[in-house]
Structure 1
Amino acid sequence: MRYPAHLSQITTALLLGTALPAAARAQSTGLEDMVGARAGQGEMELQRRGYVNIRGEQGDDRAYTYWWNADRRQCVSIVTMEGRYNSIQPTTAPDCRKPANLRPNPNYGSPPASRPRPGYEPDPAYGRVPASPGGGQTGYPSGGPVVDGRSVELGLVCFGDGSKTGFASGTSWNWNRDRDRYEAGNYTETRREVFDASLMIQTWPGGGRIRLPKSLIPPINSRGDQGWWDLRDVSVSPDTIRASYRLNGLNKPRLTIDRRSGRITVEGMSNYGFRGTCDMIGHEPRRF
């Protein structure tokens, strides 16, 4: 199974402790002001700034497109959610089907072209973090959702790689010595399935909940509420969030989130698990 290129990079970074090359991280894309722009209107502006659409991929709840700028020698990955550019990140040349030895042009100094019209302007409220009544930040554009009378303090969207035990069946051919021929038979086996996935997490004082994609819900489950499962034993510290949830009587996965890096790990029975990175709703530039 092929995964979006950015998910492969995340997985590699998690397993090997590596990150994108420094040149790919540091180079400005010249597109920072376009986060929040409507995708349809933003495409013409991207072309005007010298970017060419290379390819696109569809995730669970978002779309990924990869754009190449020959002058900058820069590939960017754009995440689109609900019709708007959610993030624009520099990535490596192979993601745009270019040779791996191509590096961003260090001598490129031209600023982004001036805007000819306001047609692609981002939503002014997109990603804005308003002040709470106490002077802090709520992390939500409109004060945050309320779940069963409880105000959500932290909202996360996490994307990465999930895994679980799957079943495969087929036909095998065996030699029948008595009948002097091959005969067909059926077999069923278990195997580890790996797939790209995204999940959502909300927390409030003393509790929270997690929304699982269908790919992380086994056939026998405790029937979550519209895809949401209650979090249990929630522990929140300045650096770490820990909790668990009950999929069924035997499988009670535990999750750990590193608040400094944004990395999340979910571990359950057998091959059940998830590895990825979380973004805080309406919050930049820190993770959470």
Structure 2
Amino acid sequence: MQARGYQQVRATRVGNQSWTFWWSDTQSACVAVATSNGRYASLNRVPEQNCRPGGHASSGAPQPIQPDAVTLICYGQGEHFASSSHYGYEWNDTRRRYEPKQNIDYGNEQFQTGVQFDFRDGGGRIHLSGKMVPPLHSGGHDGWWPLEEVQMTQERITARYHVNGMNRPKVNIDRRSGMVEIKGMTGFNGRCDLGDWGAGRRL
């Protein structure tokens, strides 16, 4: 990453996965890299708010956050239905020889990724990237989808969003533990932190 002009600005850990965040001044880009057991698990471009160039927290005094104005950065594991192709050989009794054959397997695929939430003025939006965005999708703008049915209490935040006509995932965030669950055709489980890294606050 350094050879490509990126500078590591911070790191965090979720379960057995380590996340590092890299900033490029040249490209004005923030990249999140997940590693598990010493191996790269995923690399995604994420909103710029995830990175602070130079890796320094804000030196100014934290500004109070209104109860309905919260930015959350969440990391964890996604899951969706996927297909994979395998090529091999199969014996042909008629021709008495092995012939090439393609097999297609279907099942759930798990992957490392992150999502971001922005709640304010009684509404909100969610940022999705990579495999969290299905091939057939609509309604998003620059990776952001509007949240519907937003409910915020001292203990929990719930909402829904549309990625296409058949997929309307449900969001459930536990504000005490910081854990988030998204239930839909593409699911997600992870842990969230407040987006204001200089404030050191929990949810």
**1:168/1:189 contact within 8 Å kept:** yes
Per-residue CA deviation, residues 49-72 of structure 1 (Å, 9 max, x unaligned), is xxxxxx89784358xxxxxxxxxx
In structure 1, stretches of 5+ residues that fail to align are 12-54, 63-79, 87-121, 131-136, 140-151
Task: Report the AA paired with residue 166 of structure 2.
Answer: L
Question: Alpha-carbon deviation of 1:197?
Answer: 1.1
Greater percentage in strand: 2
CA distance in 2, matches of 1:196, 1:83: 24
The alignment's TM-score, normalised by the length of structure 2, stands at 0.71
**2:71/2:116 contact within 8 Å kept:** yes
How many residues in Structure 1 have an aligned counterpart in Structure 2? 169
CA distance in 2, matches of 1:282, 1:201: 12
Task: Report the AA paired with residue 13 of structure 2.
Answer: H
Does 1:191 pair with 2:107? yes
Does 1:280 pair with 2:194? yes
CA distance in 2, matches of 1:203, 1:237: 12
1:144-159 alignment, distance < 5 Å: 153-159=69-75
Per-residue CA deviation, residues 173-229 of structure 1 (Å, 9 max, x unaligned), is 222112211111222222322222111101123321000012210110114011000
1:63-78 alignment, distance < 5 Å: none
In structure 2, stretches of 5+ residues that fail to align are 1-10, 19-37
CA distance in 2, matches of 1:236, 1:228: 20
Change (3 A) 1:280 1:60: same
2:16 equivalent in structure 1: 9
1:124 equivalent in structure 2: 59
Question: Alpha-carbon deviation of 1:153?
Answer: 1.1
Identity of aligned residues (%): 30
CA distance in 2, matches of 1:154, 1:240: 12
Change (3 A) 1:230 1:123: closer
**2:44/2:130 contact within 8 Å kept:** no
1:60 equivalent in structure 2: 44
2:79 equivalent in structure 1: 163
Does 1:82 pair with 2:52? yes
Task: Report the AA paired with residue 225 of structure 1.
Answer: H
Question: Alpha-carbon deviation of 1:232?
Answer: 0.9
Of residues 122, 138, 151, the one that matches 2:65 is 138
CA distance in 2, matches of 1:170, 1:273: 25
**1:7/1:161 contact within 8 Å kept:** no
CA distance in 2, matches of 1:166, 1:56: 23
